[in-house]
Amino acid sequence: MYDIAVIGAGIVGLSTAWQLQKRYPQWNIVLIDKEQEVGTHQTGHNSGVIHAGVYYAPGSLKAKFCKQGAEATKTFCHKHHIDFDQCGKLLVATNELEKQRMDALYTRCLENDLEVIKLDEEQLKEREPNVKGIGALFVPSTGIVNYRHVCQKLAELFVKGGGDLRLGSEVVDLSESHEQVTITLDNDVVSASYLVSCSGLMADRLTKMLNIPTDFQIIPFRGEYYQLPSKFNNVVNHLIYPIPDPDLPFLGVHLTRMIDGSVTVGPNAVQGWKREGYGRINISPRDILDMVRFSGFWKLLFKHWRTGLVETKNSWYKPGYLAQVRKYCEQIKLEDLQYYPAGIRAQAVMKDGSLVHDFLFSQSTRTLHVCNAPSPAATSAFPIGAYIVDTLDRQITSL
């Protein structure tokens, strides 16, 4: 019998388990994941950016968590000797419409109390000789890290503090009584007084196991990346981002310096047909059936069908993808786009077809579920964990 069980050993689950352990050092805590390693899914398939919080509505949890999380992540890396690089980010405008959107983003940066510098075309060229644009915003606090290394350190600290880390254990059923939560695994049955679910791509399936009423479903979006040859390792000095369309939740294809010195381009955002479809085969009959039975999926598809067609075309037609990259960096050619593993974004979609842009939580008497942890969840993992611990503390106190 455990005091607390946490499901999901991505960076949010690990941060939560570690902070629960610090809050309740006398309690017996278990962290469960079906994979053999930590940080296997969304955490291990992102671009490794420590985001500053440029895009998010002032006062939202995303804006608050991102700014706090960026500093907490850098502090944690400093303390535990994890390599990171505060290289800064440039948001580049390539036409007048993007320039107008850039000005709105500049205002948002100021509202979110972020350091930001507006650059004209000549100043942009001075900073990035290989990038073209008519203006840019420079956000110096943005950085890069390998989030799997952060996860590995958190797991080490959790186990060292007496936590039980159960990898290779898949949750197949959950039940809740007045006294406890019973977690049926594919290799064991365990129970806990309280349960926290940080299960990402499977978040909706765990709430359904407990019959918790919800109006959302996880819809996977596949982000496809390419890696550039090593000759391009110094092609940019900063992270190069487009000016995003404010009507879409995705940031668009960008050039990212990785912590290992390489450069990737991407991701796009295409409809995923498999929740864990990182390889070239991206089909799961169960996941497809879940989607087509959900009315919100069809409403979302109808609302964004034009964007979906463009993204799908560029996924299958490599020159279309290349055109998005060459908006900023004309030196890159088709043969320079080398294979790199895709990422899957667990996007919560409501029954009315609307995308959930902020964090979404649901709960029962003895359980708390992180239903939507959108980008920048990796950056924000430490304040998200603290928020979960505080929420659970209130929940426990109220019993």
Tell me how far apart the alpha carbons of residues 51 and 48 are, in angstroms, rounded to a whole number.
Answer: 9
b/e map of 234-263 (b: 16 or more CB within 10 Å)? ebbebbbbbbbeeeebbbbbbbbbbbeebb
Tell me how far apart the alpha carbons of residues 394 and 29 are, in angstroms, rounded to a whole number.
Answer: 18
Residues 6+ apart with CB under 8 A from 116: 54, 106, 109, 110, 137, 138, 139
Tell me how far apart the alpha carbons of residues 347 and 219 are, in angstroms, rounded to a whole number.
Answer: 5
CA 212 to chain centre: 24
Residue 211's SS3 state is coil
Length of the chain: 399
pLDDT category of residue 253 using cuts at 50, 70 and 90: confident
pLDDT category of residue 247 using cuts at 50, 70 and 90: low
CB 23 within 8 A of CB 83: no
Could you tell me the two tokens for 12?
């949010």
pLDDT category of residue 251 using cuts at 50, 70 and 90: low
The string of pLDDT tens digits covering residues 333-392 is: 999 999 988 899 899 999 999 988 888 899 999 999 999 987 789 999 999 999 999 998
- The pLDDT value recorded for residue 398 is 77
Residues 6+ apart with CB under 8 A from 177: none
Q: Average pLDDT in the 123-135 region?
A: 94
Q: Average pLDDT in the 196-225 region?
A: 94
Q: Average pLDDT in the 20-27 region?
A: 94
pLDDT score of 130 more than 80: yes
pLDDT score of 281 more than 80: no
**Which DSSP string do the residues of 65-87 spell out, in sequence order?**
HHHHHHHHHHHHHHHHT--EE--
Tell me how far apart the alpha carbons of residues 66 and 382 are, in angstroms, rounded to a whole number.
Answer: 10
Secondary-structure breakdown of the chain: helix, strand, coil percentages, each rounded to the nearest 5: 35, 25, 35
Could you tell me the two tokens for 18?
């570690």
| pTM > 0.85: yes or no | yes
pLDDT score of 121 more than 70: yes
pLDDT score of 396 more than 80: yes
Residue 211 has a CB neighbour count (10 Å cut-off) of 11
Q: Average pLDDT in the 281-290 region?
A: 90
Backbone angles phi, psi at 322, to 5 degrees: -60, -40
Tell me how far apart the alpha carbons of residues 205 and 371 are, in angstroms, rounded to a whole number.
Answer: 10
Of 42, 11, 62, 59, nearest to 358 by C-alpha is 62
pLDDT category of residue 76 using cuts at 50, 70 and 90: very high
Tell me how far apart the alpha carbons of residues 15 and 385 are, in angstroms, rounded to a whole number.
Answer: 5
User: Measured between alpha carbons, how far is residue 269 from residues 220, 314, 378 in Å?
Assistant: 10, 10, 18
The percentage of residues in the chain with a pLDDT greater than 70, rounded to a whole number, is: 98
Mean pLDDT is lowest, of 168-177, 196-205, 336-345, for 336-345
- The pLDDT value recorded for residue 250 is 64
In single-letter form, the type of residue at position 198 comes to C
Beta bridge partners of 173: 184
User: Measured between alpha carbons, how far is residue 30 from residues 55, 171, 185, 228, 368 in Å?
Assistant: 35, 13, 13, 41, 15
pLDDT score of 272 more than 80: yes
Tell me how far apart the alpha carbons of residues 373 and 141 are, in angstroms, rounded to a whole number.
Answer: 22
pLDDT category of residue 269 using cuts at 50, 70 and 90: confident
- The pLDDT value recorded for residue 249 is 58
Q: Average pLDDT in the 305-316 region?
A: 84
Please, is 230 exposed, middle or buried when counting C-beta atoms within 10 Å of its C-beta (0-12, 13-18, 19+)? exposed
Tell me the domains of the chain and their CATH numbers.
1-84+141-215+351-399 (3.50.50.60)
Q: Which residue has the higher pLDDT, 177 or 324?
A: 177
- The pLDDT value recorded for residue 176 is 96
- The pLDDT value recorded for residue 252 is 75
Q: Which residue has the higher pLDDT, 249 or 280?
A: 280
User: Measured between alpha carbons, how far is residue 193 from residues 28, 66, 181, 221, 246 in Å?
Assistant: 10, 31, 6, 34, 43
pLDDT score of 12 more than 90: yes
Residue-averaged pLDDT of the chain: 92
